[in-house]
Amino acid sequence: METLVLILDLVGTFVFALSGAMLGVRRRLDIFGVLVLSFIAATAGGITRDLLIGATPPAALSDWRYPVTSLAAGVVTFFRASLIEKLHHPVRLFDAMGLALFAVAGTQKALEYGISPPMAAAMGMLTGIGGGIARDLLLAQVPLVLRAELYAVAALAGALVVAVGHWLALPMVPCAVVGAAFCFGLRMMAVTYGWHLPVALQSGGDGEPPGPLK
Cβ atoms of 71 and 38 closer than 8 Å: yes
- Helix (H), strand (E) at residue 211: strand 211-212
Instruction: Measure the CA–CA gap between 197 and 179, rounded to whole angstroms.
Output: 21
Instruction: Measure the CA–CA gap between 196 and 136, rounded to whole angstroms.
Output: 19
- Confidence band for 181, pLDDT divided at 50, 70 and 90: very high
Residue 214 has pLDDT above 50, yes or no: no
Q: What letter represents residue 128's amino acid? A: G
**Cα distances (angstroms) measured from residue 200 to each of 146, 187, 196, 207:** 11, 21, 12, 18
- Average pLDDT, integer, range 117-123: 95
Residue 49 has pLDDT above 80, yes or no: yes
DSSP 146: G
Q: Which of the residue ranges 29-33, 89-93, 199-203, 208-212 would you say has the lowest mean pLDDT?
A: 208-212
Quote the pLDDT of residue 210. Answer: 46
- Average pLDDT, integer, range 156-165: 96
Count, residues in the chain: 214
Burial label for 168, CB within 10 Å (0-12, 13-18, 19+), is exposed
Global pTM exceeds 0.85: no
Instruction: Measure the CA–CA gap between 8 and 4, rounded to whole angstroms.
Output: 6
